[in-house]
Homo-oligomer: A and B are copies of this chain.
Amino acid sequence: MKGPCTPGVIYVGDRHAGKVHVISRIRCEVMSHSDASPEPVTRGDLGTIATRAARRDPEGVAFVEVDTGRTVTYGAFERWSNAFAAALRDRGLTDGDTLAVLATNGVEMYVAHVGALKAGVVTLFCNADLTPDALAYQLRDGDADAVVRDPALAPKLAAFDGDLDPTITTEADDTDAVSVASLAGTDASPPDVAPAPDDPALVLYTSGTTAKPKGVVHTHRSYTYGVVNTLVGGDVRRDDVQTGVLPLFHIHQDLWTKAAFCVGATTVLYDDFDPGTFLRSIDDHDVTYVNLMASMYRQLLDAEAAVDASSVRRCVHGMPMEMDVRERVVDAFDADLQKVYGQTETLVTTFLDPRWQFEKSGNYVGEATPFADVAVMDEDGELLGRGETGEIVVRGPSVMQGYLNRPDASAAAWTDGWHHTDDIGRVDEDGLLRFVDRKGDMIKTGGENVASIRVEECLLDHPAVAECAVVGLPHDRWDEAVTAFVRVVVGEDVSADDLHTHCEARLAPFERPKSIVAVETFPYTATGKIAKAELASAHRDHYE
């Protein structure tokens, strides 16, 4: 059944009163918003972060877009997102409906997201690199009611056969879709909606390296705690100008952006990551806070650009960084270097404090943030002491509400009172958590457990190795044989024997690769990680 459709106005189809939106582990909840709405005076739902930022400093710069040169103040952002929220409600979206956001970094995309929060509408952040089929799966599974998409990403929607008609577009294109951009400058009050703390706010899909991606449901409450953990752990300050080059549709950049809103800092947005452009932007915009994956720092160090980067005070990185790269980053930027760890289900949970950067080689992830309780657990559900290796478990108010429509998966993740991360780790004598490996990537070989990451780190230490992945492949004698796939740096000449010799000096016999295979490229997930399961599957007959 369709509701009233006014010509020239966005209509979003099929509203179902009482529709089941979230099936969490503990209960199947019919969205019943009004019962739980908080008193307006005590509201703290996620969208109010923007309202407070605008009151604190309406002229403060929320965003700078490097590619367009445009700046948007907190006051303008507030009015614009209010207008978008009102437009969503006017066009029939109501509490607990879901707006898919399919866009790369830009102010319009973020206006749509924050506007949805204010309208009580759940944001389903879609990875812009998904294939049309994978995207269609998430839109169906995530029960998307409407979509905001970049004009350039419209073709990605081709495989989705559900009802998103008409769609909303970030910037005007040659379709009839109403654009977010057209609402800029509109002055509107926020809708009279007060999401309750436990109402869903965002759905984000896991990368699904080993299984179908799962929708992670965060409430206004859980996500706000994730923002607080980021703000305090990452030490984002009022005067910071931070980079926003990682995708906003991932928790990492989104959490930092919301942390900036909490204190009135500025986020610089980039279309994509080009090392030269990025370095020049640091100079142009007096960037103080750089936030990148480890591999991107390596690209920066290799780039040639004569820029003044003295404004930078902090460099945050996700993913492990070799010690020599850490040294070069700190040298280059004269800044504190800090490692962050977390996952979509728990948001940011630990940081390796800058003081430890040169004390702790290997993949240390550090100490828990204020509202994350982080421990290591054995297979019997007992918490382990320092020095003991087990699964990293997390509990606390930043943990997700559950997996969407997958009560079994939620129940499986939440045993013994803790959320299980599927990551293996141990806490060292200084109380610092060290990441050992993904649980599924541990290799069981000849009765020993080998962390694939340990072998990968060893190979990456060789100057000729640009990228590598280590997996366990079926083997008569070893059960799983440690097997390395490496991509060699262009122009380097290195043999498998050289690499075996390199490993012999650094790894125990049972840890050493039984075979080292050179490859031209790897299969990747949409989030840019090497798809190890796919790699292992493709080579499962390697030892036959």
Contacts and interface: CB of A to CB of B under 8 A. Distances in A.
A52 B197 contact: no
A302 B148 CA distance: 64
Interface string A248-272: 0000000000000011000000000
A178 interface: no
Contact of A56 (B48, B55, B368): B368
A25 interface: yes
Interface in A371-416: 371-375, 395-401, 414
Given A368-B52, A373-B48, A395 B41 contact: yes
Contacts of A538: none
A542 interface: no
B419 A41 contact: yes
B263 A399 contact: no
Contacts of A360: none
Interface string A42-60: 1110001101100111000
Given A399-B42, A417-B41, A419-B41, A373 B232 contact: no
A476 interface: no
Best-surrounded residue of A25, A55, A262 (most CB of chain B within 10 A): A55
Interface stretch (A119-127, A167-175, A221-229, A514-522): A221-229
A39 interface: yes
A185 interface: no
B225 A44 contact: yes
Contact of A44 (B42, B43, B397): B397
B395 A40 contact: yes
Contacts of A228: 228, 232
A136 interface: no
Contacts of A370: 49, 52, 231, 262-263
A395 B225 CA distance: 19
A540 interface: no
A400 B41 CA distance: 9
B262 A43 contact: no
Nearest to A54: B373
A43 B368 contact: no
Nearest to A51: B373
Given A26-B39, A221-B197, A44 B417 contact: no
28 contacts: A39-B414, A40-B417, A41-B399, A41-B417, A41-B418, A41-B419, A42-B222, A42-B399, A42-B401, A43-B395, A44-B225, A44-B398, A48-B396, A49-B370, A52-B368, A52-B370, A52-B371, A52-B372, A52-B373, A55-B373, A55-B374, A56-B367, A56-B368, A197-B197, A231-B232, A232-B263, A238-B353, A262-B370
Nearest 9 CB-CB pairs, A to B?
A44-B397, A262-B370, A40-B417, A52-B373, A42-B399, A41-B395, A41-B414, A56-B368, A41-B419
